[in-house]
């Protein structure tokens, strides 16, 4: 796209200029959709083995360039360099695995004589999986490589063409990913768009050419898509994952998993553990060990070997600080004196006494963790299920019956037993309830969501 209307991308760490992206106009959005439509039929007819070869080449190039891509990713969104590198490596594996799974898709036959009124061998139905058409993929800032690829590959491998809109923060990393894809794909199959969601978001979503939307982002934007979209959608939205620690838990294991789950990438993950409920008999022991572990976390610039770094922008930091202020005003006890410098918020634990404290139920997206003491598991389940979110939940216990009791009672898309909340493995189904999303993703599920059934009836 040629345009003088560009936005500079600044490093979250030091505000240095990393590059820029084009703020697409509505006319440029039209051209992206036109290219996607004109190339869709030809792309849909390409044999699956040829598509698999293309995606394997994409994955291989990602791995070849992983260090350079991870460096840009780390600078652009303040993700610790080791986590950025892991994201690129995981994405390459995701691409290869998704492409390989697509080889298993087959047409199915259905005999018609199971219905009253039809004779044996009178009708044979054949169902074929065909492309939906044009997929609008919208990715978030926190995983601009992985959560983009998890949308692009299922859509493309299913024979669809794509209009791809990345988050503004993360656009450089997403562009690199799109650039690698387009090196191996036919022209017009993948069309990358950048710009402000407030300027072109609604136009992209309501465009006459879009056939299905796959979005990851905030619950607020997801609700807006629900209201204005005229086509099907997959929505992966916010989370407020509760970790429940039973008095039958392995405390050392629970502490280790909760620290990783709550503080990796500074808590800026929809699947981060964002509230911990601890049964009273083990509370003191758990909290003492949790404090000791959190104190060891390394804080600093993302290019160093750190656990916690800057939040994505000052607005995000201000919001997290407002939640801390509210908690302290309602009697919460901090683990130590709070510390924050601009976009950098240092790890903090908050012992919460009042359930009306905002941080108990609002998604903080930062390295601050509220802890609440409960008496019975029924109480913990009730507190968890009051949340408007329902992405994942965690139960820590060595009693398998207790684990399944809690798992079956939580109104969430996933329950982890004795482990932190996590999106992977990528071949597992991934879904949320309530305000955490609509639809199920995962390798198999995502491909099938991007295709539709066509029935051909043979009358014998």
- Of 161, 243, 207, 153, the C-alpha closest to 426 is 153
Assess whether 270 carries a catalytic annotation: yes
Is residue 362 within 8 Å of 319, Cβ to Cβ?
A: no
In the 8-state DSSP scheme, what is residue 208?
T
Contacts of 216 (CB under 8 A, 6+ apart): 138, 139, 140, 147, 151, 235, 236, 237, 270
Cα 338 to the chain's mean position, in Å? Answer: 29
User: Crossing angle for the helix pair 146-157 and 171-184, nearest 10 degrees?
Assistant: 30
Catalytic residue among 76, 270, 362, 445: 270
Cα–Cα distance measured from residue 241 to residue 411, given in angstroms and rounded to the nearest whole number: 11
Q: What is the largest CA-CA distance in the chain?
A: 79
**Kind of pairing, strands 233-236 and 212-216?**
parallel
Burial environment of residue 356 by CB neighbours within 10 A (0 to 12, 13 to 18, 19 or more) = exposed
Cα–Cα distance measured from residue 352 to residue 374, given in angstroms and rounded to the nearest whole number: 11
- Residue 337, both tokens: 């004196």
Compute how many other C-beta atoms are within 10 angstroms of the C-beta atom of residue 258: 26
Catalytic residue among 75, 236, 257, 362: 236
In the 8-state DSSP scheme, what is residue 443?
H
- Residue 280, both tokens: 């009273």
Assess whether 34 carries a catalytic annotation: no
Contacts of 417 (CB under 8 A, 6+ apart): 394, 395, 397, 403, 407
Catalytic residues: 236, 270
């Amino acid at each position: 796209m040629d345009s003088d209307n560009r936005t500079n991308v600044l490093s979250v760490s030091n505000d240095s200029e990393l590059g820029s992206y084009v703020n697409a106009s509505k006319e440029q959005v039209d051209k992206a959709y036109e290219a996607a439509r004109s190339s869709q039929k030809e792309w849909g007819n390409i044999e699956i083995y040829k598509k698999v070869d293309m995606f394997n080449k994409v994955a291989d190039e990602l791995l070849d360039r992983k260090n350079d891509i991870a460096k840009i990713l780390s600078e652009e969104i303040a993700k610790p360099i080791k986590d950025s590198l892991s994201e690129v490596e995981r994405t390459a594996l995701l691409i290869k695995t998704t492409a390989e799974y697509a080889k298993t898709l087959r047409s199915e036959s259905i005999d018609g004589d199971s219905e009253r009124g039809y004779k044996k061998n009178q009708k044979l139905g054949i169902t074929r999986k065909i492309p939906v058409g044009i997929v609008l993929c919208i990715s978030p800032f926190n995983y601009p490589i992985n959560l983009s690829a998890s949308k692009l590959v299922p859509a493309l491998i299913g024979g669809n063409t794509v209009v791809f809109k990345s988050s503004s923060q993360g656009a450089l990393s997403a562009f690199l990913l799109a650039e690698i894809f387009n090196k191996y794909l036919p022209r017009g199959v993948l069309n990358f768009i950048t710009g402000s969601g407030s300027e072109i978001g609604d136009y992209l979503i309501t465009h006459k050419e879009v056939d299905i939307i796959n979005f990851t982002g905030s619950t607020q934007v997801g609700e807006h898509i629900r209201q204005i979209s005229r086509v099907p959608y997959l929505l992966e939205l916010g989370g407020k994952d509760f970790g429940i620690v039973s008095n039958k838990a392995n405390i050392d294991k629970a502490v280790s998993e909760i620290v990783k789950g709550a503080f990796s990438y500074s808590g800026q993950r929809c699947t981060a553990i964002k509230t911990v409920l601890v049964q009273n008999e083990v509370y003191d022991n758990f909290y003492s060990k949790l404090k000791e572990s959190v104190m060891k976390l390394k804080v600093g610039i993302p290019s160093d070997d750190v656990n916690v770094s800057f939040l994505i922008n000052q607005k995000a930091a201000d919001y997290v600080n407002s939640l801390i202020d509210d908690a302290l005003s309602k009697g919460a006890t901090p683990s130590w004196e709070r510390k924050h410098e601009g976009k950098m918020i240092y790890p903090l634990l908050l012992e919460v006494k009042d359930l009306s404290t905002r941080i108990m139920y609002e998604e903080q997206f930062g390295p601050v963790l509220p802890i609440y003491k409960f008496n019975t598991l029924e109480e913990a389940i009730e507190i968890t299920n009051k949340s408007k979110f329902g992405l994942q939940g965690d139960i820590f216990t060595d009693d398998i019956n207790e684990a399944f009791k809690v798992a079956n009672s939580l109104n969430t898309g996933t329950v982890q037993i004795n482990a932190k909340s996590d999106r992977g493995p990528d071949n597992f189904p991934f879904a949320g309830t309530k305000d955490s999303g609509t639809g199920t993703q995962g390798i198999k599920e995502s491909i099938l969501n991007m295709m539709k059934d066509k029935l051909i009836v043979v009358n014998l």
